[in-house]
Structures are given as structure tokens and as C-alpha cells.
Amino acid sequence: MKQLKVCLLAFLAMACSKDDASDSTQTDLLIGIWMESGSGVVGIDDGTDEFFPYDDYCTLQSRFIFNKDGSFRVETFDGTENDCFSTGVTTGTWENQGESYHFKIITDTSDTSDEGNGANITIQFPDSDTMRWIFENDSEEVDYSFEEYTRVEG
């Protein structure tokens, strides 16, 4: 769970501003409710990916909600199957910038609050119900790593 929080924080690490949401957000694949499903890496040599599905009950309860109006809300969970607890709620704004998305945190109730920070991140949609946040990798064997999300609703 801490790795997920670190990924989210890395995702939102640079500060900058957001313009008004454009009409393009109305049909954006990002819009909807997503759950974390796993992480993976893509190899440099053959381009194949290796996927590691999450199986922790509480992690799978986390939700990433991206709205048409350019706002988002993320709530993550930790604990055991019988005792899940929220690790915090993060809200902010998002904007599709063509080759990447820009996110800015407005409020963050987690222990490691990043209020006011923002970041650009590349997001791929292998299909309409799968989203991958792409992270550069310095490894000689790995082209990039990714966090994968599955559409729950929307």
C-alpha cells in the first residue's frame, strides 16, 4: 500500500496550474470510476509486459474518480480484509494535454499530504476499461513501469 501511495505522490510531484476544462473532457476515456488492479513492467529487448495483479482486499477497495468537469477524487485503503481503513482522500483537477494528463492536488487528508502539488503523466488506455499510468525507468532491462487500473463504472 505504501508503494501505491508513493506512486500517487510521484504522480503528483510537480507544481503548476490548470486552465478551465475543455469540451474534450466530455468524451475522455479517463472519465469514470477506476480501481487499482496491479502493476507491471515492459522489457526493453522484446517489448513484452509482465503484470503483477494486486490481491490485497483493502487495496482493491481504493477508488479513483475522474469527473467530466475536470475534477478528481481518490480514496485509498489499507488494512486487513475484515478491517479496512481509509488512508486518505485526495481531490484535485485534471486536464488532458494530448500526450499526457496534468493533475493538481487541491486537498489531501493523508499522512503525507501533497496539497498544491501537481504533475504531468502519460496515461495509456489498452482498451476502454483499462488504464495504465506510465513511469519512466532507469533500468537497462526495463523500458518503463506502469500502474494499471480497471474501470468500475462510467
pLDDT of residue 44: 85
pLDDT digits (tens, 9 = 90+) for 49-60: 899 999 999 999
pLDDT at 25: 43
| Average pLDDT rounded to a whole number, residues 121-135 | 97
Q: Can you give the pLDDT at residue 103?
A: 97
pLDDT over 50 (residue 121): yes
Output 44 or 58, whichever has higher pLDDT.
Answer: 58
Total domains present in the chain:
1
Q: What is the DSSP letter of 19?
A: P
Please check the confidence at residue 21 and state whether its pLDDT lies above 70: no
Region 17-26: mean pLDDT is: 44
pLDDT of residue 26: 52
Q: What is the dihedral of CA 108, 114, 120, 124, to 10 degrees?
A: -50
The domain spanning residue 46 has which CATH number? Answer: 2.40.128.280
Is the pLDDT reported for residue 109 higher than 60? Answer: yes
The phi and psi torsions of 130 (rounded to 5 degrees) equal -130, 130
Instruction: Name the pLDDT band for 39 (thresholds 50, 70, 90).
Output: very high
Q: Are strands 71-80 and 83-96 parallel, antiparallel or unpaired?
A: antiparallel
Average pLDDT of the chain to the nearest whole number: 85
pTM exceeds cut of 0.75: yes
Report how far residue 96's alpha carbon sits from residue 120's, in angstroms, rounded to the nearest whole number.
10
Name, in order, each residue with C-beta under 8 angstroms of 138's C-beta and a sequence gap of 6 or more: none
The answer, yes or no, to whether residue 93 has pLDDT greater than 80, is yes
* Residue 18: domain span: 2-153
